[in-house]
Structure 1
Amino acid sequence: MSTERNPPSLAEAVNAKGFGAAAGFRIVKVEPGQAEVALARRDDLTQFFGYFHGGVITALADQAAGVAITSGLPKGRIGVTVELKVNFLSPADGTELVARAKTLQMSGSIGVATVEIFTGGDKPERLCAFCTATMRALDLPAEFR
C-alpha cells in the first residue's frame, strides 16, 4: 500500500459537493490527521432560541472528523462515519462555529477522532460541544481519484 497521504486539496473537493457545500462549511486548515472547519451563522441554521441548531453542530463535527481522518489516510482512501457522539456544553450563540478535529488513532481500516467545536466570531471563542467519531477507511469514489 502507498505511503503517500491524501493532499489537503481533497478536503476542498469533497466539501464542495452535497451537504457540506449547501450548509456553507469552510475548510480553514488541513494537516495530516488534523482539520479545522468553520461555519458562518445564518438564520436557517438556528433553532427557536436563535442558537446554532444541534444538528448543524453535529454535522460540522462529522465533517471535521472526516477531513482529519481522511487527511492521514493513504492516497485514494477516505474516512466515512461509523459512529458519532456529541456532548453539547453550552449554547452556540456566536456568529461562527469552528470545529477542530484530530485523529487519536488509526488502526487498520478504523480510526477515532476527537472534535472540539467552538462558538465565536463576534465574541471570544468558547467551547460549545465535544465530539468523538469513529470512521472507516474506504476507497475514494472514482470522481475524486
Structure 2
Amino acid sequence: MQEFDIVLARKVLASQPFSSLLGTRVMVFGDGEAELELDIREDLQQQNGYLHGGVLAYAADNSITFAAGSVLGPAVLTAGFSIQYMRPGTGRTLLARASVVHAGRRQATVRCDLFTVADDGTQTLCAVAQGTVLPVPKPA
C-alpha cells in the first residue's frame, strides 16, 4: 500500500476539478492534521463583498476529509458536517485548519477552524466546523 503523505495528498487534491477551479492548496498534511488554503478572489464573494459561505463550507468539508484521511487512509468520504459562521470572511487568503478529535476503525470526528488572512498576515477566525468521516471500501 502506498503511504498517504503530503505528496499524495496534493495529487488527490489536484485530481478534484472543483478544488482546481478554486485554486486550493494543501499546506499541512499528516498525523491527523490538514491545512488547506485558497486565495480570496472577487468571483468567490457574495453580493456584499464577503467570501461566500459555500466556499467556507467547501474548505471545511475538504480539510476535514483530508485530516481524517491522514489517519484512516485515502479512501474516505465525509458522512456529515456542521458549520457555524462567526463573522464575514474578508482578506486575501482563506485558511482551513482541521484536526482529528477522535479516530477509530469505522469513523473519525474532525474539527476545523476557518481563518481569513489579511495582507499583514493577521488571521481572523470566521467559522468553525465539525464533521464525521468514514472509510469507504475500494472498488473491485
TM-score for the superposition, normalised by structure 2? 0.90
**Structure 1 residue 6 displacement after superposition:** 2.0
State the partner residue of 1:45.
44
User: Does structure 1 retain, via aligned residues, the 8 Å contact 2:72–2:105?
Assistant: no
Counting matched residue pairs gives 138
**Structure 1 residue 43 displacement after superposition:** 1.3
Over 3 Å counting, the alpha-carbon distance change for 1:88 and 1:141 in structure 2 is: farther
Flag structure 2 segments of 5+ consecutive residues without an equivalent.
none
**Structure 1 residue 139 displacement after superposition:** 3.8
CA-based RMSD of the aligned residues comes to 1.9
Task: Report 1:65-84 matches (<5 A).
Answer: 65-74=64-73, 77-84=74-81
Over 3 Å counting, the alpha-carbon distance change for 1:63 and 1:10 in structure 2 is: same
**Structure 1 residue 78 displacement after superposition:** 2.3
Match of 2:128 among 127, 130, 141: 130
SS of equivalent to 1:72: helix
Task: Report 1:26-41 matches (<5 A).
Answer: 26-41=25-40
Flag structure 1 segments of 5+ consecutive residues without an equivalent.
none
CA distance in 2, matches of 1:10, 1:63: 15
**Structure 1 residue 91 displacement after superposition:** 0.7
CA distance in 2, matches of 1:11, 1:121: 26
